[in-house]
Structure 1
Amino acid sequence: MADSARQSADYSEKVRESWVWFLLLGILLVAGGLVLVAAPLASSIAITLLIALVLVGGGAVQIYHAFRCQGWTGFLWDLITGLIALIGGVVIYTQPLAGTLALTLVVAAVFLAQGAGQLVFAFRLRPHDGWGWIAAAGVVSLAAGVLIWFEFPSSAAWALGLVAGLSVAFNGWSYITIALAARPVA
């Protein structure tokens, strides 16, 4: 327990010492998030291309790993999943609009599943404080999933970029609030 308190105090001191850097990082992230939101189609395609590159790299490493560890029972599984990732990444990279469409459907499905799960969880917690916030988050996730799903395929032009932009902007805002709370009061 004492180590945890000491560690927390160390973290707080580090934040106080570098609050300006936290503030600058937060401002840059908010600005970057706003750029992503302002250009959602370009952001969506850029995200798709990044995912494609990760799939290609991950697939290639997984195939290499399969052959390096050829004697183990997971060889075939490693090889097949590596090939699927590599081929999928190449296809997405060469057809980024089709990849964006597919990823948009995945995002919609994730929001729908997350929203349903949050609502079930909220109603199981119902007598406890805060269950309403979880339910509200579930409704928002469900609404986002339904909106993306029913606006498909036109939602592919904005969904990924908007989600990424809002995430980056809110992350930046969290750094700004930490910085402002830690700055010395003159």
Structure 2
Amino acid sequence: MASVFNEMPTSSTLRSKWLWFVGLGLLLLICGLIALGNLLVATVASVFYVGMLMLAGGIIYLIHAFQVRSWDHVLFWALSGVLYVLAGICAFINPILTSAILTLFLAIALLVAGIFRLFVGMRMRPLKGWGWIVTSGIITTLAGFVIALGWPVNSLWILGLFLAIDLIVQGWTMVAFGLGIRS
């Protein structure tokens, strides 16, 4: 694993590829703007992506189930695999229901993460910069609360919005990086 980090590309190698970074960034920006233009389609696309991952994970679980030795372990891994496969199939059969479930999980995760950050930030109070952690916790908790308040109606667009924002941020990052290594 250490050899991967030791073999980082040199700045001259990256500099010769600056245009590729800018091109990738522009492509990501375009995709992000398209997703922003139709959040429902972007939500369905993200649900299908999660569904494909769950199907693949379920198949891997099922294959793994028959590699273990004892029957009780086979049953556990096979049941896990079947549940993953069923969840993946559900994502394709009913993406709107799946988006509602994923949006609810997102709201809960943001609430829990935000409250945890608030707790950690308050415990770090004597240290410099603790306020940033508390601020991050407040913002994350508020985001989870707002999503939970709008659920299930906002599940038609919230996952698409997150996807669009991620694509736009990654696009700007790649463009800035490409232009940065050019000079």
Q: Which amino acid aligns with 1:51?
A: V
Q: Is the 8 A contact 1:15 1:22 kept in 2?
A: no
Q: Is the 8 A contact 1:44 1:158 kept in 2?
A: yes
* 1:180 correspondence with 2:183: no
Q: Which runs of 5+ in 1 are unaligned?
A: none
Alignment correspondent of 1:58: 57
* 1:144 correspondence with 2:143: yes
Report % sequence identity.
Answer: 28
Distance 2:89 2:6 in 1: 49
CA deviation string 1:73-98 (max 9, x = no partner)? 63222111001111122223211111
* 1:80 correspondence with 2:79: yes
Secondary structure of 2:66 counterpart:
helix
TM-score, structure 1 as length reference? 0.85
Q: What does 1:110-121 correspond to in 2, within 5 Å?
A: 110-121=109-120
Secondary structure of 1:68 counterpart:
coil
Alignment correspondent of 1:92: 91
Q: Which stretch shows the higher mean deviation, 38-47 or 73-82?
A: 73-82
What is the CA-CA distance between 1:136 and the residue it aligns to? Answer: 2.3
Distance 1:174 1:154, change over 3 A: same
Q: Which amino acid aligns with 1:130?
A: G
Distance 1:176 1:128, change over 3 A: farther
Q: Is the 8 A contact 2:57 2:81 kept in 1?
A: yes
Distance 2:135 2:126 in 1: 15
Alignment correspondent of 2:156: 157
What is the CA-CA distance between 1:71 and the residue it aligns to? Answer: 4.1
Q: Which stretch shows the higher mean deviation, 105-114 or 47-56?
A: 47-56
Q: Which runs of 5+ in 2 are unaligned?
A: none
Q: Is the 8 A contact 1:20 1:179 kept in 2?
A: yes
Secondary structure of 1:74 counterpart:
helix
* 1:125 correspondence with 2:124: yes
TM-score, structure 2 as length reference? 0.87
What is the CA-CA distance between 1:6 and the residue it aligns to? Answer: 7.3
CA deviation string 1:35-76 (max 9, x = no partner)? 222211111111112212221222122112212334476322
What is the CA-CA distance between 1:19 and the residue it aligns to? Answer: 1.3
What is the CA-CA distance between 1:24 and the residue it aligns to? Answer: 1.2
Distance 1:133 1:35, change over 3 A: farther
Distance 1:24 1:55, change over 3 A: same
What is the CA-CA distance between 1:7 and the residue it aligns to? Answer: 5.3
Q: How many equivalent residue pairs?
A: 181
